[in-house]
A and B are shown apart, each in its own frame.
Chain A
Amino acid sequence: MNKPETLPDLQPDPQPDPQPELQPVVGRSLPHESAHLHVSGAAPYTDDLPEPAGTLHAALGLSPVAHGTLLGIDLDRIRQQPGVVAVLTAADIAGENNCGPLLHDDPILAGTQLSYVGQPVFAVIATGRELARRAAALARQVIRFEPLPAVLTALDAHAAGQYVLPPMHLTRGEPAAHLPTAPHRLQGRWSLGGQEQFYLEGQISLAVPQEGGEGLLVHCSTQHPSEMQQLVAHAVGWHAHRVTVQCRRMGGGFGGKESQSALFACVAAVAALKLKRPVKLRLDRDDDFLITGRRHGFDYRWDVGFDDDGRILAAEIDLISNAGHSADLSAPVMARALCHFDNAYWLPHVAMHGYCARTNTQSNTAFRGFGGPQGAIAIEMILDGVARRLGLDGAEVRRRNFYAAGQDMTPYGQQVQELHAQPLTAQLLASSRYTERRAEIAAFNAASRVLKKGLAFTPVKFGISFNVAHLNQAGALVHVYTDGSVLVNHGGTEMGQGLNTKVAQVVAHELGLPLARVRCSATDTSKVANTSATAASTGSDLNGKAAQDAARKIKARLAAFAAERFGCATELVSFSGGEVSGGGQSLPFDDLVAAAYLKRIQLWSDGFYATPGLHWDKARLHGHPFYYYAWGGAVCEALVDTLTGESRITRADLLHDVGTSLNPALDVGQIEGGFIQGMGWLTMEELVWHPTSGLLTTHAPSTYKIPTANDCPTEFRTELFGVANASETIHRSKAVGEPPLLLGFAALLAIKDACAAAGPEGCDPPLRAPATAEAVLDAIDAVR
């Protein structure tokens, strides 16, 4: 279709490297390893894999009621539908009917209890996907149930003392003693909505029986292949070694495919083994919304004491999360929320109480930040209120509360090592002209009747590592083939973050090769075993180190071999630019590898990494859970229409700490994408459940609105902080997946600041999140 003869000679970089093979591979803005495949539609996702002959398709019949007792299902009616091959219920699950990652409280298919509208009750297996969906859509007509009273909101559940887990308490100092004596007191309640991951690729699994039914291969869009392997094995009653789970790439995950890909993998697996045929289960978007959980919405009650300068003296806070019908990951999400209420601030006396409310809704789960955002935003709302109460600038009040030397101990007992908040904030406030713009905005607001502007700064401190020490381990396999090409496999999964690119860069760097010589293959439980989820931002920290370890083992063997040939000491052998050199001699890497093979030197290796120095007392919520912290800051400007409540972020300045970047382009992509996602959560992405039926009424992109290009700030500036990580991480880089999401706080607070401009001096508009036009108008009308 195109005219090849007019093909332009496009260069990938504005200033192309004269000899790219001599440039360092680590630290460069190299494109995503699949970028050329993404843009040509040639990067296969699970649904793009060729279907094996005889593949059947599954669809799920969903509970029509928020709470009830299942009396029966008219399965015959479903079986009579066109194309239907089988209908499966809980009784067909040979092993354990559970896909809960921590507690065993999450049925794959409902047993006798119906726990939320949308819960999978039966699975239809048909010759085609549309036929399966049409039959499954009869669920409302074929499911017989006795309704029970439903609890639909976290506050109702909290009032009833109904939780998925025992409450968690974390106290430092004596807040009860210091609250009454504080010069000022701020008490408040606040409500924060949840957030749908909205990965563009919906949940999907394809289960293919192997070895005459003795084995099973599951292609699954998942962040956690090892857990999928275990849960599938439990569901079918097998040992894990009979199940292989593979994932080459996901069309987005954001936490939504950490635990909650399991239900679909299990259903496909159970059906495939029962019918002895491949079975694919790909969810329709509406079903994906209705079945799976998302970021927990939180409700807060706080009581804070502070001095005349706005310094927090004592704080007590209840954090009530909407866990949904089961525990899923609600416990570690709440633990991370409690460990992030401090954000970047020294809180001398503090008590936090976490409640995971059990409601008859989808079971909420991981989503980028994993409770951290829900913890940290509370203190930001509090400090915003403190500043307004005292008539002080919000940025100034924040700076007075930052962790500092001697005031550097977190409430959970970890000392904050890198005190980046002050210098980072100073740099950002200067580069964004914060002070000057404050004055400009005040002048604009004084002259503008309907439109008002607002400005806000918020910082981020985010703990890096899984809060549970044992999860902080990773493995990798590196193969050097006899032609000198390299294949890397590791336990991490690629969901767009560029993990494979970074890991390939690390391995290429170790072996002194250009990046093109190193490829990463699909994540596969039969290659690297017992992996942790690609989550908690740890992907490149853990897998980069594991791959480096593997590459170094091979390098050591090759160096010893080369030293022998060169007649020099092993330490003098170096790998660079595709050459191996030492003692004044040099050899192409390929030639050395070919020669090493003939000398029977092992050219592949495993690698392993475990993050050092972590410990965590789960009962006391105390210890050293994080290897280090990632820091950042955002300044946002908002424009608000005080007649309609419509708002827009007109400018955002982001400054974020990624240590020494492995790949600045990928890191900037994570920072900007995380910011926009956080902004979307807090400004427009609203989840609405029907107040009596419990149906999620925002179950598709027609009703659930994530940001589009026009929601991107007109002026959008992102910079990297550029200080090496003090901890010994992979090339002194820092994790970047989750922390930038918290930069979005500044968007919400800028809108709040604009709302305040519609009211009298010193007013504090009660703005809830998400700050939809309705929420904004409510806040304005409350202070106008």
Chain B
Amino acid sequence: MNTRQHHRPVRFFHRGEVVEIGHLPPTTTVLQYLREHAGCTGTKEGCAEGDCGACTVIQGELGADGQLSLCNVNACTQFLPTLDGRALLTVEDLGGPEQLNPAQQALVDCHGSQCGFCTPGFVMTLTACYEAHQAAGTRPDRQALADAISGNLCRCTGYRPILDAGERMFDAPARLLDRAPIAAALNALAADEPLVYQHAGVRFHAPQSLPDLALLREAYPKATLLAGSTDVGLWVNKQFRDLGDVIYTGRVPALREIRREGDALWIGAAATLEDAWAALAGAVPRLRELWLRFASPPVRHAGTLGGNIANGSPIGDGAPALIALGADIVLRRGEQQRRLPLQDFYLDYMKKDLQPGEFVEALHVPLPSPHWQFSAHKIAKRHDSDISAVCAVLGLRLDGGVVREARFAFGGMAGIVKRAAAAEAAVVGQPWSEAAAKAAADALAQDFKPLSDMRASAGYRLRVAQNLFTKLWLETGAGAVAPVGIWPSLQGVTA
């Protein structure tokens, strides 16, 4: 591909037609576009960081199979050019006060709005949930509804009437979004050249193939690589950082692939968190809690596992799981692929083994043999959408009651996510017993000197991390039947 390709406007489907935008800075958020330029003020700003859900919109795109998929995302952290070739649906698309859709009508009937400011966001989340379940011919239970709306904060109602509305909307005669015109428009947009958007001297590239992405990355090694925008959005909204040129990975089909490769999972770097965690939890059921608690559904629909890993935050929940599973990271520069154990990718606080021009292509996750058992824990102030004080994924390979191998990966305990070498050494070769778990807990004090911050004190972090070894024993030792914890997401899960 020619990296000096001609630029063109962003083209997307909105309010029943294809909209072209050529005059706005590429870091204009979808929310700013809606409220300040499109006159659609139904979508609200509550926090501008993807934590409250007041700005929830539905984004539509054609999948690899040509089918239109719809999912709810936070408009406040998405940049306008990422809409290119996609559809944007907001509360204004649902029919107005006189023609409420089932979600809207149920919210009115159940007294689900008080101040009403968060309500359009709930409407969009419930509508996305309604669409997905109607398409699948299923109906969510109350727990699934609570999980679905966990990215939408309401300060007035206490949620009971909103959950009631979520149940009641399925009682009404089905009334679905009309997908045909959206799909038709997106099909037509699919013929567009890959987007190169230029504004005030900076470019936004949205390549559509892996070689093009690699070429661009080499040509613009200083450009900001943008995936789900759930963190980069905050660099702009909150820190006023200048991104310079941007290369967006979200339109590269090969990068979004998740596939089975022998006894391993290949997770493309731009696969969404939702899809990637579904695959991981499918392979290791004990990871289901981390999946449901890894950010909110709108963030999981936009964010990517590759982005979480590449970001390299010591408090990201992706790395502990992947390191405990023994995953490799696959890096690419031009045509060259480099593969290394993920645990070696992190060098020091926010320092990674990543060369200029190189980017994360995929994660290669070996599927554990039946000898492996895992215990996974996220300790935070809130069940949903919270950053971990401590995240731990503890893996054991047992053979005849003896620990043959251990991978204890911790987040939140050091400047990087890393394995607890002393704790692992304390159990490997030992019969697996409560005493061995205690030895690992004691040894952990040599592995980590955590920090105190607004999430937890250093003392608590170490204490709770040590206590997790008791849980590991209770979940994997003699007579263990089920995970030990208080969350409904653990129900029906085995270690």
Footprint of B on A, CB under 8 Å? 1-4, 6-8, 10, 12-13, 29, 31-32, 34-45, 47-48, 130, 133-134, 137, 197-202, 249-254, 284-286, 449-451, 495-498, 639-641, 643-648, 665-666, 668-669, 672-677, 684, 686, 688, 697-698, 700-703, 705-712, 714, 716, 772-774, 777-778, 781
Asked whether A134 lies within 8 Å of B49 as measured between CB atoms, the reply is no
Query: With a CB–CB cut-off of 8 A, which chain A residues contact B114?
Result: 32, 496-498, 669, 673
Q: Of A43, A134, A201, A773, which contacts B464 at CB under 8 A?
A: A773
Asked whether A8 lies within 8 Å of B120 as measured between CB atoms, the reply is no
21 CB-based A-B contacts, threshold 8 Å: A2-B177, A6-B175, A8-B172, A10-B100, A10-B109, A12-B109, A31-B111, A39-B105, A40-B120, A41-B40, A41-B41, A41-B120, A200-B153, A450-B471, A496-B117, A641-B485, A645-B464, A648-B487, A702-B47, A708-B150, A716-B160
Say yes or no: is B178 at the interface (Cβ < 8 Å to chain A).
Answer: yes
**Cβ distance A461 to chain B, nearest Cβ, rounded Å:** 22
Select the stretch in B337-345, B376-384, B406-414 that faces chain A: B376-384
**Cβ distance A444 to chain B, nearest Cβ, rounded Å:** 13
**Cβ distance B279 to chain A, nearest Cβ, rounded Å:** 23
Q: Of B49, B54, B115, B456, which contacts A250 at CB under 8 A?
A: B115
Cα distance A200–B117 in the bound complex, in angstroms: 6
With contacts A34-B116, A45-B117, A252-B155 taken as known, whether A2 is within 8 angstroms of B94 at the C-beta atoms is: yes
Closest to A677 in B: B155
Select the stretch in B3-11, B85-93, B327-335 that faces chain A: B85-93
Residues of B107-126 contacting chain A, CB below 8 A: 107-109, 111-120, 123
Asked whether B484 lies within 8 Å of A451 as measured between CB atoms, the reply is yes
Closest to A639 in B: B486
Say yes or no: is B355 at the interface (Cβ < 8 Å to chain A).
Answer: no
Asked whether B117 lies within 8 Å of A201 as measured between CB atoms, the reply is yes
Asked whether B161 lies within 8 Å of A669 as measured between CB atoms, the reply is yes
**Cβ distance B20 to chain A, nearest Cβ, rounded Å:** 20
Say yes or no: is B286 at the interface (Cβ < 8 Å to chain A).
Answer: no
Query: With a CB–CB cut-off of 8 A, which chain B residues contact A774?
Result: 389, 456-457, 460, 464
Say yes or no: is B420 at the interface (Cβ < 8 Å to chain A).
Answer: no
Cα distance A384–B40 in the bound complex, in angstroms: 52
Asked whether B486 lies within 8 Å of A640 as measured between CB atoms, the reply is yes
Query: With a CB–CB cut-off of 8 A, which chain B residues contact A13?
Result: 109
Asked whether A40 lies within 8 Å of B381 as measured between CB atoms, the reply is no
Say yes or no: is B397 at the interface (Cβ < 8 Å to chain A).
Answer: no
Cα distance A249–B484 in the bound complex, in angstroms: 46
Q: Of A2, A249, A711, which contacts B382 at CB under 8 A?
A: A711
Say yes or no: is B426 at the interface (Cβ < 8 Å to chain A).
Answer: no
Asked whether A3 lies within 8 Å of B97 as measured between CB atoms, the reply is no
Asked whether B488 lies within 8 Å of A641 as measured between CB atoms, the reply is no
Query: With a CB–CB cut-off of 8 A, which chain A residues contact B103?
Result: 39
Asked whether A706 lies within 8 Å of B455 as measured between CB atoms, the reply is no
Asked whether B111 lies within 8 Å of A199 as measured between CB atoms, the reply is no
Q: Of B99, B119, B173, which contacts A38 at CB under 8 A?
A: B119
With a 10 A CB-CB cut-off, give which of B101, B109, B116, B463 has the most chain A CB atoms: B116
Asked whether B454 lies within 8 Å of A703 as measured between CB atoms, the reply is yes
List 6 tightest A-B contacts by C-beta distance, closest first: A41-B42, A496-B115, A251-B117, A38-B116, A676-B158, A41-B91
Cα distance A252–B44 in the bound complex, in angstroms: 13
Cα distance A389–B252 in the bound complex, in angstroms: 66
Asked whether B49 lies within 8 Å of A285 as measured between CB atoms, the reply is yes
Closest to B92 in A: A41
Q: Of B96, B172, B381, which contacts A686 at CB under 8 A?
A: B381
Asked whether B379 lies within 8 Å of A646 as measured between CB atoms, the reply is yes
Asked whether A648 lies within 8 Å of B486 as measured between CB atoms, the reply is yes
**Cβ distance A560 to chain B, nearest Cβ, rounded Å:** 39
Q: Of A36, A672, A700, which contacts B100 at CB under 8 A?
A: A36
Asked whether A701 lies within 8 Å of B51 as measured between CB atoms, the reply is yes
Cα distance A137–B241 in the bound complex, in angstroms: 11
Say yes or no: is B244 at the interface (Cβ < 8 Å to chain A).
Answer: no
Asked whether B157 lies within 8 Å of A37 as measured between CB atoms, the reply is no
Asked whether A40 lies within 8 Å of B97 as measured between CB atoms, the reply is yes
Query: With a CB–CB cut-off of 8 A, which chain B residues contact A284?
Result: 48, 238
Cα distance A706–B154 in the bound complex, in angstroms: 9
Asked whether B157 lies within 8 Å of A669 as measured between CB atoms, the reply is yes
Say yes or no: is B373 at the interface (Cβ < 8 Å to chain A).
Answer: no
With contacts A701-B47, A702-B49 taken as known, whether A643 is within 8 angstroms of B156 at the C-beta atoms is: no
Say yes or no: is B387 at the interface (Cβ < 8 Å to chain A).
Answer: yes
Asked whether A44 lies within 8 Å of B41 as measured between CB atoms, the reply is yes
Say yes or no: is B95 at the interface (Cβ < 8 Å to chain A).
Answer: yes
Say yes or no: is B319 at the interface (Cβ < 8 Å to chain A).
Answer: no
Q: Of B16, B172, B454, which contacts A688 at CB under 8 A?
A: B454
Query: With a CB–CB cut-off of 8 A, which chain B residues contact A646?
Result: 379, 485-487
Cβ contacts B12-49/A at 8 Å (1 or 0 each): 00001000000000000000100100001111111111
With contacts A137-B240, A673-B158 taken as known, whether A39 is within 8 angstroms of B107 at the C-beta atoms is: yes
Cα distance A48–B54 in the bound complex, in angstroms: 14
Cα distance A402–B230 in the bound complex, in angstroms: 53
Cα distance A643–B464 in the bound complex, in angstroms: 7
Asked whether B111 lies within 8 Å of A684 as measured between CB atoms, the reply is no
With contacts A7-B175, A644-B467 taken as known, whether A29 is within 8 angstroms of B49 at the C-beta atoms is: no
Cα distance A310–B464 in the bound complex, in angstroms: 37
Asked whether B157 lies within 8 Å of A711 as measured between CB atoms, the reply is no
**Cβ distance B444 to chain A, nearest Cβ, rounded Å:** 14
Closest to B470 in A: A643
Query: With a CB–CB cut-off of 8 A, which chain B residues contact A647?
Result: 486
Kindly list 8 other residue pairs between chains A and B, CB separation below 8 angstroms, not including A42-B97, A648-B486: A12-B109, A38-B119, A39-B112, A644-B377, A701-B153, A710-B147, A716-B158, A773-B464
